[in-house]
């Protein structure tokens, strides 16, 4: 998946306007990022990458780049 | 001997905890957002001196007034909120309902898989000619396990009780079961303290375990992401196993009821298991997640609303605490 596509997917998942996220956005600082948002991201990653991220993974997530790293860079172009 | 569900009734406590009230207490979540995401508008909360046993009694009274109660010859009580460590709730309820004394009665401790497991026990008791008429009670008061400042769990869970009468019949109304257990998840939904491993601690530390949600180790803890991961893995498999063991395809199933955990989660599981939307039950609007009671409440409401008709084959799937999960196919007559 292209990074831009992933950013769009993530914006859709978090119900944010297009273009509001960048690779360096710290997810934890977002108003939209709460316990329900984490469930939505888990579903999005399962659906698109067939991967499950643990609760621990989410504890360590900071910016979008760190989320991409958790999913695995091999999934990205 | 075969067995079938003869009737179901449920009881909800009177106190209502609405989204409006919750969002006044926790302003970062609006009432609308809770309803839209979780599919819950309000939940019922047991009174301070009202226990799962009391709720179970009320549900049973609604049910047994329709039948000669002398015929009930087994009582099963599923709860994680018993009145006492010793004795179990079942004998207390036998006495309160003035059931016969020459009957079997015991509790079993399960959460969201409890209803499916209860049906499997009832079916076994009837098949072995130990019983002809089993009263299965599921009753839960998670509100008593939840810390008052735990936004997340307070929003999700409601208290309730359901009573189901399972009787011997010529034609089978309870199909084959697919059950599962994985104790590696024991600490993902847990009350740490209060048993004999970790006694109740009056000075337990208040922990902000997720942003805006507080608990101590004396209270219910749920690791939401891990529970979701578990269901994503376990539910599609158990659905497939259950269909296989009953030799049917999903097209031959008239209706599907998953444990009503929350709308977001079960809608994702529906998509993942490729169950058509029109066959899939989502309704926890006025009750919330009532643990072992969501499936019998859904069955009762769906029969009353004529969504489930006589002869329909209904796939039911429970999953949660343990981890424990299970599925079967019932035919409603």
Distance CA B261, CA B319 (A): 9
Residue B301 annotated in active site: no
* Catalytic member of B78, B112, B242, B293: B112
With beta carbons under 8 A apart, name residues in chain B contacting A54.
225-226, 229
Tokens of B319: 């999953």
Greater model confidence, B295 or A77: B295
Tally the domains of chain B. 2
H helices within chain B, ranges in order? 19-25, 31-38, 52-64, 89-96, 114-127, 151-156, 224-245, 263-272, 294-304
pLDDT at B205 over 90: yes
Asked if B3 contacts B175 with a C-beta cutoff of 8 angstroms, the reply is no
Domain span holding position B72: 2-171
| Chain A touched by B333 (CB under 8 Å) | no
Three-class DSSP category at A51: coil
Tokens of A6: 């992933």
Residue B112 annotated in active site: yes
Same domain, B40 and B150: yes
pLDDT at A35 over 90: no
Tell which CATH architecture fits domain A3-71: Orthogonal Bundle (1.10)
| Chain A touched by B268 (CB under 8 Å) | yes
Tally the residues of chain A: 77
Could you give the dihedral angle defined by the CA atoms of residues B16, B289, B155 and B283, in that order, rounded to the nearest 10 degrees? -80
Distance CA A52, CA B167 (A): 42
Same domain, B144 and B232: no
**Strand B15-18 and strand B2-11: pairing?**
unpaired
Q: In the predicted model, what is the mean pLDDT of residues B203-212?
A: 92
In a domain, B290, yes or no: yes
Q: How far is CA B137 from the centre of its chain?
A: 10
Confidence at residue A49, expressed as pLDDT on a 0 to 100 scale: 93
The reported pTM is 0.95
The residue with tokens 């579903």 is A43
Tokens of B160: 């309730």
What are the phi and psi torsion angles at B324 (to 5°)? -145, 140
Minimum distance, in Å, between the CA of residue A31 and any CA atom of chain B = 9
pLDDT at A73 over 90: no
Same domain, B91 and B20: yes
| Chain A touched by B235 (CB under 8 Å) | no
In a domain, B86, yes or no: yes
Same domain, B180 and B163: no
- Dihedral sign for Cα B271, B274, B275, B278, please: positive
* Catalytic member of B145, B218, B242, B259: B259
Same domain, B138 and B198: no
| Chain A touched by B209 (CB under 8 Å) | no
Which ipTM was obtained for this model? 0.89
Asked if B209 contacts B39 with a C-beta cutoff of 8 angstroms, the reply is no
In a domain, B73, yes or no: yes
Q: Where are the domains of chain A?
A: 3-71
Strands (E), B141-251: 160-169, 174-181, 189-191, 207-210, 213-215, 220-222
In angstroms, the Cα distances linking B199 to B38, B192, B203, B307 are 33, 9, 11, 47
Q: What is the mean pLDDT of chain B?
A: 96
Q: In the predicted model, what is the mean pLDDT of residues B269-285?
A: 96
Q: What is the mean pLDDT of chain A?
A: 90
In angstroms, the Cα distances linking A50 to A8, A11, B5, B8, B237 are 18, 19, 38, 39, 15
| Chosen domain end from B152, B171, B190 | B171
Select the residue from A42, A53, A67, A70 to test the B interface by mutation, using most B Cβ atoms within 10 A.
A42
Same domain, B146 and B199: no
Q: What is the CATH number of the domain that holds B139?
A: 3.40.47.10
Same domain, B183 and B241: yes
Distance CA B47, CA B63 (A): 22
Same domain, B128 and B232: no
């Amino acid at each position: 998946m292209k990074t831009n596509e992933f950013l769009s997917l993530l914006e859709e998942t978090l119900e944010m306007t297009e273009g509001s996220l960048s690779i360096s956005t710290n997810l934890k600082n977002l108003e939209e990022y709460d316990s329900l948002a984490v469930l939505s991201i888990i579903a999005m990653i399962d659906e698109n990458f067939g991967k499950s991220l643990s609760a621990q993974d989410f504890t360590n997530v900071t910016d979008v780049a760190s989320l991409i790293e958790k999913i695995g860079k091999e999934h990205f172009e | 001997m075969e067995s079938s569900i003869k009737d179901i009734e449920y009881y909800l406590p009177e106190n209502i905890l609405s989204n409006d009230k919750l969002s006044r207490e926790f302003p970062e979540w609006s009432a609308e957002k809770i309803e839209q995401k979780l599919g819950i508008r309000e939940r019922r909360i047991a009174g301070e001196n009202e226990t799962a046993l009391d709720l179970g009694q009320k549900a049973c009274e609604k049910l047994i007034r329709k039948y000669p109660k002398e015929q009930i010859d087994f009582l099963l009580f599923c709860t994680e909120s018993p009145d006492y460590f010793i004795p179990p709730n079942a004998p207390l309820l036998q006495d309160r309902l003035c059931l016969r004394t020459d009957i079997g009665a015991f509790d079993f401790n399960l959460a969201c898989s409890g209803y499916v497991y209860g049906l499997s026990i009832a079916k076994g008791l009837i098949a072995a000619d130990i019983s002809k008429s089993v009263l299965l009670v599921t009753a839960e008061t998670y509100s008593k396990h939840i810390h008052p400042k735990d936004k997340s769990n307070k929003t999700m869970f409601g208290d309730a009780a359901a009573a189901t009468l399972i009787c011997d019949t010529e034609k089978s109304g309870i199909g084959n079961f697919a059950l599962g257990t994985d104790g590696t998840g024991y600490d993902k939904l847990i009350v740490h303290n209060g048993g004999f491993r970790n006694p109740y601690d009056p000075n337990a530390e208040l922990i902000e375990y997720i942003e805006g949600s507080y608990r101590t180790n004396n209270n219910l803890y749920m690791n939401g992401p891990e529970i979701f991961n578990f269901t994503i893995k376990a539910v599609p498999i158990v659905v497939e196993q259950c269909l296989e063991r009953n030799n049917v395809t999903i097209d031959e199933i008239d209706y599907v009821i998953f444990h009503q955990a929350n709308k977001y989660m079960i809608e994702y599981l529906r998509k993942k298991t490729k169950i058509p939307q029109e066959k899939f039950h989502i309704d926890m609007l006025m009750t919330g997640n009532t643990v072992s009671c969501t499936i019998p409440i859904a069955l009762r409401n769906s029969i009353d609303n004529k969504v489930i008709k006589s002869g329909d084959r209904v796939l039911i799937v429970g999953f949660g605490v343990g981890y424990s999960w299970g599925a079967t196919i019932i035919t409603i007559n």
